Amino acid sequence: MRATMAAEVDDVSVDQNAPLREDVRLLGEELGTVLKQQAGEKLFDTVETIRQAAVESRGEGEMQVGRLRALLDPLDDATLLEVARAFSQFLNLANIAEQRHRERLHREHQRYPGDPDTDRGLRQVLAELKKAGVDRQSIRQVLADMSVELVLTAHPTEVTRRTLIRKYDRIADLLTDLDRPDLNAEEREELRRHLREQILSAWGTDEIRRERPTPVDEAKWGFATIEQSLWRAVPQGMRAIEDELALAGLDPLPADWVPTRFASWMGGDRDGNPNVTAAVTREVLTLARWMAADLYLRDVENLLADLSMHRASDELLAHTGPSHEPYRLLLRQVRDRLRATRAQMEARVHGAPLLEDDCYTQTSQLADALRLIDRSLRAVGLAAIADGQLKDTLRRLNCFGITLLRLDIRQESSRHTAALDAITRYLELGSYGEWDESRRQAFLLAELSGRRPLVDDAFYRSEYCDEEVREVLATCRVIAEQGAEGLGAYVISMARASSDVLAVMLLQKIVGVREPMRVVPLFETLDDLNNAATTMGALLDIPLYRERVRQGQEVMIGYSDSAKDAGFLGAAWAQFRAQEKLTAIFRERRIPLTLFHGRGGSISRGGSPTRMALLSQPPGSVAGRIRVTEQGEMIRFKYGRPSVAAYNLEQYVAATLEATLVPPAQPRREWREEMDRLTQRSVEGYREVVRDDPALVAYLRTVTPETELSRLALGSRPARRKAGGGVETLRAIPWVFAWTQIRLMLPAWLGTGAALECALANPAENETLHTMNAQWPFFQGLVDMLEMVLAKADTRVASWYEERLTRDPELIRLGAALRDRLGHTLEALRGLTGRESLLDNNPVMRWSIRVRDPYTDPLHLLQAELMSRLRERDSDEILESALMVTIAGIAAGMRNTG
């Protein structure tokens, strides 16, 4: 933890990143001071000796495992726990320093080489559009119609406790304060004292969540992100965007214009999560309205303090009557109504008698009052006042509404099939579940067109209506009672046929939903993606359905399960082709299409920088409209702090504008043919191991901490869809998490390396590959992300786990084969990029990875040892705690988990 830590890697940094190195050095020194004070000189010296050994071993280019083990083996269980905590804490502090550096460079409009997502903001995009000859009116029209919706989801491998996140945010604030150039020596020392106090507080806090969060807890975490960051970030980001548009000479957009909005899956995603019930969804929707009323109340209180002027328009005075403070008179009415709304929601949550006071039930009711004030201020020459806090509140209202977040519902298609099967059997019509697709469609369309009720109250008391069927229908009743404003999309996971979509429409009708949620099929396996266009085309051939979606259709593209099914490369190409075909079908039918991307943080789950992600999409598929999931850890990294959140919102607007108006060219025929060849080889190579090698499941459960993940109180959703079984029962997120923990990163590269190697060996394909990498954004994105993840892979680390945890010849055989495949993938990547060392074009990211290695290496060795010891015992509280700390620490060191 000494100051030498940062100096050891200075040679790979660049001048503009000197403040980052200084922050890392400072935090390391302060953590070292805390360790000495709290754990004693002996533990501090032990940690330093282990760290220095790891540094020297890495410097020699070959890890001296024996030396590190000799230092770790003599330590008792309690000391192992403290050592793990020390290394884990430093990795979290290093992340804070990096996040703070992003804020610093965003503010200074500098390019951050360690973050490819920051290389083109709105100013650069507007300049490029002008250079490309795009007229201002076209730009303004796309911006005016733009819809970017970010869907916040819980993350089952988010390991950092909210209590610690708050402390880390305070540390970041103190680093910001220390950046001020006008500080004197006393002020600087005082800030360092506060910094040491926060690090001490973090050290004294249990890193591990002891109780699994409920879906309501997860939803509250999403609300807290809005309250603590996004509430400020949205108007802050909009002002920055407004300034850039004015600088480019574009006419101003409406005062409350906001192209980005937020939705949520927290409390609505019931796919495989029995903890998400109709009652939970109802509670989350109520809590969201409660929080929204409270936040708007704070805004209105501030407006009451400021809007003391008496000059007002006739329109406003007609509403208030003669008054010396007409604005305050109207705002008091708004305040009283918000208070009533908040009290009403509180009563609903606690099951108390509902009040009869006038509450806000629609966003337009609050917006009408605020817009009346806005028009009056502008009419009497007080536009500067209208452009202050009032404008911020109007933008918040346009973004969040009175419901804070639109809640999506997600359910697996088989649950809908089971519900309708129960109904048809009750009605003595036969078994819906056994009918073929044509018979299902005929039944569904007849009932959707009919007027009579399909079931009566007796159905709910019958033997056919079991608990699962009852829950599906109860969810639809929540939709009926809540109304459309607080609800987003009804997402059907594992959608495979037209009847899957029609079924949800009928279930909503059965319970009396007056304003049905839009139904969004999610295509997520390789076969489903390949058949997505056929499925949607069949739906659009149905006149009733085509009329229902005349104003627009949304289709969700799954990244997690498709990559788990077919591997990274095969899934990526299937996603690209599915979007191409869907875009063409809906363009032909003249129906607006919004593609909903179910991305995660890791590359095998679609994770990539915003601009890269959007410009990698097929030409015409963005069209000013996009929906994207933002998951747990990425919410914290991208939206946890207002300035970073504002920057990322601008990035989405810029990238959506660019992808809409100057999309990449259509891929050439020879590129498509090459991708077909690559993906065929890649899928075969991936499935050869994941599906066909009988040792794979045993290797996963023996050598990785996959089974130990169940000990962590992570998300509310179970890690498996069902108990037992093989890889097919494991959710995509923990599947990625387990391989990341041992640095093998298997889901991100398996199959891809063999495909590239084969193509590079063929002169004609070799030339085509290099052309694709130079000219095709889709392929460039794949290669860049593959390089980033392979820079984090380490075959030596993976071998440590194997050496400590198994003697099975079959598992040892498979481990050697996987490491050999990874080595060939690295060679193929070098042959394609022409770079001998990974990330030669990205020195800061390379520095970021290298600076963490001396802290992650001991954690990996500790984790393997702890896994071995725990598997020999029934339970051990200290060892279990230490293991959980290593999991959390490695996740922090890798900067992405699932």
Helix and strand counts by DSSP (H, E) for the chain: 40, 8
Contact 320, 330 (CB under 8 A): yes
- How does DSSP assign 444-499, residue by residue? HHHHHH--S-S--HHHHHSTT--HHHHHHHHHHHHHHHH-STTEEEEEEET--SHH
d(CA 679, CA 242): 43
pLDDT at 894: 81
Structure tokens at 523: 């295509």
pLDDT at 58: 74
On the question of pLDDT at 608 being above 50, the answer is yes
pLDDT at 70: 85
Read off φ and ψ for residue 204, nearest 5 degrees: -85, 5
Read off φ and ψ for residue 807, nearest 5 degrees: -120, 5
d(CA 303, CA 729): 54
Least confident of 23-27, 321-325, 379-383, 707-711: 707-711
Does the annotation mark 391 as catalytic? no
> Exposed, middle or buried by CB within 10 Å (0-12, 13-18, 19+), for 186?
exposed
On the question of pLDDT at 1 being above 60, the answer is no
pLDDT in tens, 733-775: 678 889 999 999 999 899 999 999 999 999 999 999 999 999 9
Region 804-813: what's the mean pLDDT? 95
Contact 755, 570 (CB under 8 A): no
> Exposed, middle or buried by CB within 10 Å (0-12, 13-18, 19+), for 365?
middle
Q: Which of 101, 167, 416, 564 is catalytic?
A: 564
Least confident of 86-90, 351-355, 723-727: 723-727
Find the largest Cα–Cα distance for the chain. Answer: 90
d(CA 261, CA 284): 18
Averaged pLDDT score across all residues of the chain: 88
pLDDT in tens, 621-662: 999 999 999 886 778 888 988 988 999 999 999 999 999 999
d(CA 558, CA 523): 6
pLDDT in tens, 130-163: 999 999 999 999 999 999 999 999 864 455 667 7
d(CA 738, CA 154): 18
DSSP 8-class letter at 464: T
> Exposed, middle or buried by CB within 10 Å (0-12, 13-18, 19+), for 550?
exposed
pLDDT at 565: 84
What pLDDT band is residue 471 in, cutting at 50, 70 and 90? very high
Q: What percent of the chain has pLDDT over 90?
A: 65
Structure tokens at 621: 């598929």
pLDDT at 116: 45
Region 256-283: what's the mean pLDDT? 94
Least confident of 64-68, 124-128, 580-584: 64-68
List the beta bridge partners of residue 147.
Answer: 625
Least confident of 105-109, 553-557, 724-728: 724-728
pLDDT at 2: 46
pLDDT at 711: 65
Question: Strand ranges (DSSP E) for 413-552?
Answer: 487-493, 518-523
What pLDDT band is residue 13 in, cutting at 50, 70 and 90? very low
What pLDDT band is residue 715 in, cutting at 50, 70 and 90? low
Does the annotation mark 220 as catalytic? no
Q: Which amino acid does the sequence have at 145?
A: D
Contact 654, 121 (CB under 8 A): yes
pLDDT at 114: 41
pLDDT at 605: 44
Cα separation of the two ends of the chain: 29
On the question of pLDDT at 505 being above 70, the answer is yes
What pLDDT band is residue 118 in, cutting at 50, 70 and 90? very low
pLDDT in tens, 577-598: 999 999 999 999 999 999 999 8
On the question of pLDDT at 205 being above 70, the answer is yes
- Half-sphere exposure at residue 634, Cβ-oriented, CA atoms within 13 angstroms: 24
pLDDT at 499: 97
Instruction: Report which of 137, 146, 123 is spatially closest to residue 244, judged by C-alpha positions.
Output: 123
Helix, coil or strand: residue 597: strand
pLDDT at 730: 63
Least confident of 307-316, 622-631, 746-755, 841-850: 841-850
d(CA 472, CA 415): 7
Domains and CATH numbers, the chain: 1-110+162-206 (no CATH), 257-400 (1.20.1440.90), 408-593 (no CATH), 669-847 (no CATH)
> Exposed, middle or buried by CB within 10 Å (0-12, 13-18, 19+), for 531?
middle
d(CA 629, CA 257): 22
Q: Which of 106, 155, 597, 860 is catalytic?
A: 155
Is the pLDDT higher at 541 or at 119? 541
On the question of pLDDT at 194 being above 60, the answer is yes
Region 440-454: what's the mean pLDDT? 92
Is the pLDDT higher at 83 or at 20? 83
DSSP 8-class letter at 226: I
Helix, coil or strand: residue 51: helix
| Residue 598 burial (CB count, 10 A) | 28
Region 339-357: what's the mean pLDDT? 89
d(CA 732, CA 665): 32
Is the pLDDT higher at 843 or at 282? 282
> Exposed, middle or buried by CB within 10 Å (0-12, 13-18, 19+), for 224?
middle
Instruction: Report which of 597, 604, 600 is spatially closest to residue 572, judged by C-alpha positions.
Output: 604
pLDDT at 712: 62
